[in-house]
Amino acid sequence: MLYCSTTSIHPSILKTLTPHHNQLNPSKSKPSKSLRQEITTRIKCFNSRIQKKSEPRDYYEVLGVSTDSTSQQIKEAYRRLQKQHHPDIAGDRGHEYTLLLNEAYSALMREDFRRKYGGGGGGGGGGGKRREGFGSNFSGMGYSSWNGPVRPQALFVDENRCIGCRECAHNASETFMMDEDLGCARVRVQFGDSEKKIEVSVDSCPMNCIHWVESEELPLLEFLIRPQPKEAHGVFGGGWERPADVFAAAKYLQKQLKQQQEQKQSPTGQAHAEVETPAQAEARYQAGLKLQWRQFHEMWGWITGLLGRETS
């Protein structure tokens, strides 16, 4: 360090510290800026020079985060991946990948810094389109209302199987109703009639499509059984759809929602500590490939050098 062991004898090392650092800081940002540009353009070592310039998008992929993720998410992803691939843990084979991680992280944090302080903002931020999964507009509210207190069990009509016989609505008219448009029965009020009436109506269903379900699952099932508008592509598609097996769909959606919630609750993201996204796997593979390539390259250089010497 400049103030500890320079060759020049400087009795006033103490004095030099302050002015030096003050001098150092603005200058640090100045030449490094040009260098930084150089680094991003020629970022890879010569062995991979042919590779085109790294896009911000690639950096996001390396860390396995979406382009609209916050700096907190980037940090978490970085730490998680470091913990798997750092040479201290993964051995020497983690070297190349960790290099990539460090590079991506510093670039993204820089970008984040810029975005935060109102600089460019165009650097890949906000462009990410979050894929809307099935059930993304699920509100958590059920369709049916409750007559009296909420009980652990609730009634649910699998409308896919209902043939519209009206038996249930006839036997327990306060509980069930008919959806004339779709031609099937539906629960309007849970326990709207006496238990006996309900029992009769459940038994009377020729398709056995009236189910006792857990009250917790009810809102999800009722949401899923409502036909959702289908995405249209010109004349194709469009219309309405609902899952063929509503119970399986509910189970799946439940799991997804739970995961989302967990992610929200645990900012360390430990729930997915072991998962590697395909992009990460790809990046890692590429990093490995680069390493092999370098060896080949060195070999090639050596051979050409040898040949050159022989011919001359």
| Residue numbers at the binding site for another protein (CB under 8 A) | 1-11, 13-14, 17-18, 20-21, 23-25, 27-28, 31-32, 34-35, 37-39, 41-46, 49-50, 75-76, 79-80, 82-83, 86-89, 91-92, 94-95, 98-99, 102-103, 105-106, 113, 266-268, 270, 298, 300-302, 304-305
Nearer to another protein, 11 or 239 (CB): 11
Euclidean distance between CA atoms 66 and 306, whole angstroms = 48
Q: In sequence order, what DSSP letters do the residues of 66-77 get, joined into one string?
A: -TT--HHHHHHH
- Please report, for residues 53, 85, 95, 106, 117, the alpha-carbon distance to residue 284 in angstroms, rounded to integers and kept in the order given: 18, 10, 11, 18, 32
The helices-and-strands tally (H runs, E runs) of the chain is 10, 10
Residue 197 CB, shortest distance to another protein, in Å, is 50
**Please, what is the Cα angle at 172 between 157 and 199, to 5 degrees?**
70
Nearer to another protein, 6 or 194 (CB): 6
Q: In sequence order, what DSSP letters do the residues of 189-244 get, joined into one string?
A: EET-S-HHHHHHHHHH-TT--EEEEETTTHHHHHHHHS-EEPPEETTEE-SEE--S
Euclidean distance between CA atoms 39 and 54, whole angstroms = 10
Residue 256 CB, shortest distance to another protein, in Å, is 22
Nearer to another protein, 10 or 151 (CB): 10
Nearer to another protein, 113 or 285 (CB): 113
Nearer to another protein, 6 or 208 (CB): 6
Residue 301 CB, shortest distance to another protein, in Å, is 4
Residue 297 CB, shortest distance to another protein, in Å, is 8
CA 33 to chain centroid: 32
Residue 305 CB, shortest distance to another protein, in Å, is 5
Residue 60 CB, shortest distance to another protein, in Å, is 18
Euclidean distance between CA atoms 216 and 231, whole angstroms = 29
Alpha helix positions (H), 42-86: 56-63, 71-85
Nearer to another protein, 29 or 139 (CB): 29
Nearer to another protein, 13 or 207 (CB): 13
- Radius of gyration (Cα) for the chain, nearest Å? 32
Q: Which of 61, 69, 63 is nearest to 126 (CA)?
A: 69
Residue 116 CB, shortest distance to another protein, in Å, is 11
